[in-house]
Amino acid sequence: MEKSACPNCNKKIGGILFSNSLLTIAANNFINIFTENPGSGYCTDCGTNLFNACVTKLASQKADVLNAAIRIVDVIPIVTAQSPLKWDYSVIEMVSSQSVTGTGLLSEISSSWTDMLGGQSDALSNKLGNGETICRKQLRIKAAMLGGNCILATDIDYAEVGGVKGMLMVCMSGTAANLHNIEDVLELDKEKLSILQASIAELKRLNTIAIPQMV
């Protein structure tokens, strides 16, 4: 029986002389998502690099969309109030975020002890500030992924972790909610919010694309 050939590169498939095999249908479909001229099949000879390039493309597309969202996610308000006056909202669920920053924080604290006694430690407040910024961004992205446009009842905690190294963990938690009358109670950049929501929708779409078995 004559061996079948690869629909893409025409090489014969399998056999003693041919070590290539056809890619799975799922791998074929996966490649076609990222290819301008979809093919009806690929073999390991012509498809392996293509497949790996698509895996990389998917990861970089996700990273690009996420980074775009992170840049503008601050449009989502974070408040400590449980139920701000005049806010008409429905609760979605709790969101939390953690960040660990500052190797060598303890030594920095001791070396800047005099500064602290003087009422100020730049090293410490910078580390705290960075940790908080990361947590806020994470919290907002999580809320947006859940379809929320605000975070209520937000709480922040600090804990020292990592023993001698003196790392600092910042934990934040709050309640993601959907604020229905957001335009009435907040001055916000509506355009930014809709761009954010579009990026989040795109991120969710990309997250549904699973990387299949190649062969």
Q: Decide: is 9 part of the binding site for Zn ion (CB under 5 A).
A: yes
Question: Taking the complex as a whole, how short is the minimal distance between the CB of residue 16 and Zn ion, in angstroms?
Answer: 18
CA distances from 60 to 55, 56, 87 (A): 9, 6, 38
Lookup: tokens for 41: 């099949």
Is residue 44 involved in binding Zn ion (CB under 5 A)? no
Taking the least distance from each CB to Zn ion, the nearer of 43 and 75 is: 43
Residue 46 sits in the site that holds Zn ion (CB under 5 A): yes
Selected range binding Zn ion among 1-9, 86-94, 117-125, 152-160, rule: CB under 5 A? 1-9
The count of chain residues that interact with Zn ion, using the rule CB under 5 A, is 6
The minimum distance between CB 8 and Zn ion, in angstroms, equals 4
Evaluate the CA torsion angle 126, 128, 133, 134 in order and state its sign.
positive
Instruction: Rule CB under 5 A: choose which of 43, 134, 151, 170 binds Zn ion.
Output: 43
Positions touching Zn ion (CB under 5 A) are 6, 8-9, 43, 45-46
